[in-house]
Amino acid sequence: MDHRAYRLTSPVASRRAKSWLAAAHDARLRPTNPIAPIDAPELPMVVSFEGLTAVEQQAALAAFPGGKRFMLQG
């Protein structure tokens, strides 16, 4: 007996359907990504640079305007 689960719709169509159902029942969907409240500080973004050594990545991040909002991955 085959017990595999099959996806009947694409992830985009699934999100659209969930959004429609939430609106139909006067509900709100929780965001899937963390968003800082308007009065809170921004969440740091994790970045990485391909083809650079760790020292070069630190230097690139330090030279970038607004680099304090970013953290190196790893």
Locate the domains of the chain by residue range: 11-72
pTM: 0.42
- Longest alpha-carbon distance in the chain: 60
Q: Shortest CA distance to 74 belongs to which of 42, 47, 34, 43?
A: 47
Per-residue pLDDT tens, the chain, 74 aa: give them. 566 665 556 666 677 777 777 777 777 767 666 677 788 777 788 888 889 998 998 898 888 887 678 888 87
DSSP-derived letter for residue 44 is P
